[in-house]
Each structure stands twice: as C-alpha cells, then as structure tokens.
C-alpha cells in the first residue's frame, strides 16, 4: 500500500527526468513507514514512523548497533531520566526500562560506554558486548559540578576519536548585560560569564570526578551550544550556537520588531582549540554576512567587526534554536547525504510578534569537510500545521538526532516525547 503510493508520487519526477524505469522496482522496504509518514513531510523516497511515545521530555538520544535506543529525558519520569527502548521486528521499539534519577540533555554512545549528562555532571555507564548497560545504578562520574545558571542549562556532549569529551557550558545570560534582558542595560566589561561558561570545555573521556577547572576551555565566545558533533572526516568539532535574543526589546531605537526577528543568525562553527566565536561582543548578521558589534558593547546595528573572532561556516535564520547536529555516515540514504549534516531546529519563540519558524530537521550539504551550498528543509511539519508553526504552539519539537545501525535517522521530540525514525526506501 505504502510502496505503491510512493511509486505514484515518484512517477512524474521519473518520467520528466527520463530516468530508467527499473529505478522504481519495489525493493521490499526495510522498515515500513507509518501511514502518512507519522505526519512528517519528507523528500521523495523517504518515509517516517513513530518508534515510540515515551511521554517524557526526550532531549538527546543514542542508538546502539543492536538497535537499542537510549533516550535522555530533561525531567525523570517514574522510570528514570534515561529510557531504554528495545527494537521490535516492525522497526518500532518498546520502552523496557529506565535508570538514572536526574534530568539532563546529553546522550552519547562510544567505545563501550554510554555517556549521559545532567545539567551539572557527566556520567558514563559501562556497556556489555550487546551494548546493554551493565550497572544502571552505578555510573562513573566523569565530570562533576559544571557551572549552572538560570538559563542555557543543557550540558550537551560529544567525544572525539582521541579519548576526549567535549561539553557545552552555556552562558547564564542572554548578552552579558549588567541586568540580564533589561531594556537599555549595557554589557559588563570583560564579560565575567566567559570565565566559567559561554564555551566548550574539553575533558578526558575516561577521567573520574573531573572538576571544570581541570578541564580545558576548548572554545569560548559561544553563547549556548545544544547541538554539536565531531566530524570524523576532517577530525574537527562542529557546533551550532543559539544566537542572542531580544535586540528589539533591549534596544528598540536601533532594531524594529521585524529586524529583531531576523537577527542574529543561528550559526554553525567549525571549532579548533583556542577559538573565540565572539559572544557577547558580536553577533552575526546573515544578510550582511558580517560580524556586528553588539549594542550592549557600543554597536548600533551598523558597526561591523573584523578581528580575532572566528567566522561561522554556515548561517541559518534567527531564533530557530538548533538543538542537535549529526554528521550522517550511513549508507541507507542517497549518496548526497553522506558526510553532510542534519540539524534539528527546535523552533523559535523570539521572533514574536512575527510568525515563528523552525520545528524541522534541516540538511546541510557538505563537501570536503565544509558546508557546501544552502541548507534544505529535510523533515518538516513536526509542529502539525503551518498555523501551529506560526503561533509556536507546535505538537512536536525536534531536539535530538541519532543514526541507527541501518542508517536510518532517529529524531527525538522534547514536547510530547515522541521518537521518530526516518527511513529511505528506494
């Protein structure tokens, strides 16, 4: 049923392109999509299914080679703060257990360990040969006592291939004003937030009880990074920054509401040790393609900055909140997706009174380890409708991304707790 519908949908494109008809030969779908692709809008040939309804605030997730899905919840349920989902024959999964009595965001599986973060600490759980957690109640405390303020509390994590752990410590401030988010309040000189936050810290992935001061401030001037991933192809960390809010609210004479809804860009940075991305002193204007001096530090919306701060490698519309970044290395999807980046845009709030945007998974093509060309909306309509996107009252908000062993793409939603799976059936 699904396959034939897909064939008809593909038919016009194939005929127009004059492509060989045997491209339509219905290879048995590896995993059957849900009717209507679980409400998602996808490129031709892709399908989606709901893996499970967790009912929790599903932040980041990891999928083992056996197909077990580990989901980190922002707030523990009765089952715990990490849910274990076991796969079934249909491609869906069942929540079989949970552990960890803490909320948080980070979830990453590597080298025989499952790493998880609360808003203060990073833990790791030893996995057995089948990638099952050996002692759910006895994790190792890898990093302890990270800086936690009132905002940007997510401690997103990723590992490189050299035994290092990277942890986001978000700035506990919007723009380092004397009075956070207050109209007209200016920036604090030598922003003290940067001493302990507003950057990425590097730790030993096998360390024990490492304090923040024992780690290395790997990159600074990053306001808040929820989505990050290690690019194995060019052996480099990539991060997605949540740009600053409220230019109009704070400096109404310099920025009208429409301008404020379009500034600054949500930026992708390729990060090397010692880099400074410039928060809170600058923001990136996606129309001018320039780093602008922040109004809190003497800017007026017109003064550009060309100095020590790194440039983004890609820029996206303002306020869409990139909450996950994933370099795709699978073979299920067509070749153009390989080594490109998927980005989960959680969706905006700070564009109001302009219509909200986001609530989709984007694809950023890459070539030679660098973004190549504009991004594409890959999986859309998590919100449920155009009206729900505009109002911001979205049904689902994409927050985490993970690649399954077969190359399918898992997406978590921290609003209703739905876990989606996107497959390609050529």
Partner 1 sequence: MIRSSLLGASLLLVAALALPGAGPAGAQTKPKAKPKAAAGAPAPALLAQGKQVYIQYCLSCHQADGGGVQNMNPPLTKTEYVLGDKARLTNILVHGFAEKVEIQGETYRNVMPAHDFLTDAQMAAVLTYVRNSFGNKASAISVAEVKATRAAGK
Which residues are at the interface with partner 1 (CB under 8 A)? 74-75, 150-151, 153, 179-183, 185, 246, 248-249, 257, 349-350, 352-353, 391-393, 397, 415
Rounded CA separation 338/9 (Å):
24
Among 425, 291, 411, 339, smallest CA distance to 40 is for: 411
Closest approach of partner 1 to the CB of residue 155, in Å: 15
Enumerate residues 6+ apart whose C-beta is below 8 A from 317.
Answer: 262, 265, 266, 286, 357, 358
Q: What Rg, from alpha-carbon coordinates, does the chain have?
A: 21
Closest approach of partner 1 to the CB of residue 211, in Å: 24
Closest approach of partner 1 to the CB of residue 263, in Å: 13
Closest approach of partner 1 to the CB of residue 306, in Å: 31
Query: Is the Cβ of residue 416 or residue 426 nearer to partner 1 in the bound state?
Result: 416
- Residue 171 contacts residue 152 (beta carbons within 8 Å): yes
Query: Is the Cβ of residue 245 or residue 285 nearer to partner 1 in the bound state?
Result: 245
Query: Is the Cβ of residue 111 or residue 391 nearer to partner 1 in the bound state?
Result: 391
Closest approach of partner 1 to the CB of residue 264, in Å: 15
Closest approach of partner 1 to the CB of residue 300, in Å: 21
Rounded CA separation 223/7 (Å):
46
Query: Is the Cβ of residue 254 or residue 352 nearer to partner 1 in the bound state?
Result: 352
Query: 301: alpha, beta or left, given left = phi > 0 and alpha = psi -120 to 50?
Result: left
Q: Is 165 exposed, middle or buried (0-12, 13-18, 19+ CB in 10 A)?
A: buried
Among 66, 73, 82, smallest CA distance to 399 is for: 73
Closest approach of partner 1 to the CB of residue 356, in Å: 9
Query: Is the Cβ of residue 285 or residue 413 nearer to partner 1 in the bound state?
Result: 413
Query: Is the Cβ of residue 389 or residue 415 nearer to partner 1 in the bound state?
Result: 415
Query: Is the Cβ of residue 290 or residue 395 nearer to partner 1 in the bound state?
Result: 395
Query: Is the Cβ of residue 182 or residue 195 nearer to partner 1 in the bound state?
Result: 182
Query: Is the Cβ of residue 112 or residue 184 nearer to partner 1 in the bound state?
Result: 184
Closest approach of partner 1 to the CB of residue 188, in Å: 15
* Number of alpha helices (DSSP H) and beta strands (DSSP E) in the chain: 4, 30
Q: Is 216 exposed, middle or buried (0-12, 13-18, 19+ CB in 10 A)?
A: middle
Query: Tokens representing 326?
Result: 């994933």
Enumerate residues 6+ apart whose C-beta is below 8 A from 77.
Answer: 54, 55, 56, 83, 98
Closest approach of partner 1 to the CB of residue 59, in Å: 11
Query: Is the Cβ of residue 141 or residue 390 nearer to partner 1 in the bound state?
Result: 390
Distance from first CA to last CA of the chain, Å, rounded?
15
The Cβ of residue 190 has, within 10 Å, a number of other Cβ atoms equal to 8
DSSP letters, 198-253, are: SEEEEEETT-SSB-GGGSEEEEE--S-EEEEEEETTTTEEEEEE-----HHHH-TT
Closest approach of partner 1 to the CB of residue 174, in Å: 8
């Amino acid at each position: 049923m699904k396959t034939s519908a897909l064939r008809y949908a593909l038919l016009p494109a194939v005929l127009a392109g004059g492509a060989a008809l045997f491209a339509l030969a219905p290879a048995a779908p590896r995993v059957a999509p849900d009717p209507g692709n679980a409400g998602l809008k996808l490129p031709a040939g892709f399908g989606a299914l709901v893996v499970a309804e967790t009912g929790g605030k599903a932040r980041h997730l990891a999928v083992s080679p056996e197909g077990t899905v580990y989901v980190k919840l922002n707030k523990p349920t009765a089952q715990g703060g990490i849910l274990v989902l076991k796969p079934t024959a249909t491609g869906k999964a069942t929540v079989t257990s949970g552990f960890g009595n803490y909320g948080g965001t980070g979830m990453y599986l590597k080298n025989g360990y499952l790493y998880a973060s609360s808003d203060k600490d990073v833990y790791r759980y030893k996995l057995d040969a089948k990638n099952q957690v050996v002692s759910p109640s006895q994790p190792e405390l890898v990093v302890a006592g990270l800086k936690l303020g009132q905002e940007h509390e997510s401690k997103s994590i990723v590992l490189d291939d050299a035994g290092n752990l990277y942890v986001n410590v978000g700035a506990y401030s919007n723009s380092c004003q004397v009075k956070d988010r207050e109209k007209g309040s200016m920036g604090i000189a030598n922003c003290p937030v940067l001493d302990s936050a507003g950057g990425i810290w590097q730790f030993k992935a096998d360390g024990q009880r490492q304090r923040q001061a024992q780690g290395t401030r790997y990159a600074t001037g990053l306001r808040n990074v929820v989505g990050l991933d290690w690019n194995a192809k060019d052996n480099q960390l990539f991060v997605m920054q949540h740009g600053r809010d409220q230019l109009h609210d704070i400096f109404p004479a310099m920025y009208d509401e429409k301008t404020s809804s379009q500034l600054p860009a949500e930026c992708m940075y390729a990060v090397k040790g010692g880099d400074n991305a410039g928060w809170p002193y600058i923001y990136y204007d996606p129309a001018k393609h320039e780093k602008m001096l922040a109004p809190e530090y003497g800017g007026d919306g017109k003064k550009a900055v060309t100095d020590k701060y790194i440039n983004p490698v890609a820029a996206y519309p303002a306020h869409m909140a990139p909450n996950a970044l994933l370099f795709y290395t699978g073979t299920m999807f067509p070749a153009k997706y390989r080594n490109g980046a998927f980005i989960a845009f959680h969706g905006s709030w700070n564009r109001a009174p302009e219509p909200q945007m986001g609530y989709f998974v984007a694809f950023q093509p890459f070539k030679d380890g660098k973004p190549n060309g504009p991004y594409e909306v890959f999986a859309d309509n998590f919100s449920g409708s155009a009206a729900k996107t505009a109002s911001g009252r979205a049904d689902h908000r994409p927050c985490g991304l993970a690649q399954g062993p077969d190359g399918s793409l898992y997406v978590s939603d921290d609003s209703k707790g739905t876990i989606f799976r996107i497959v390609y059936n050529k």
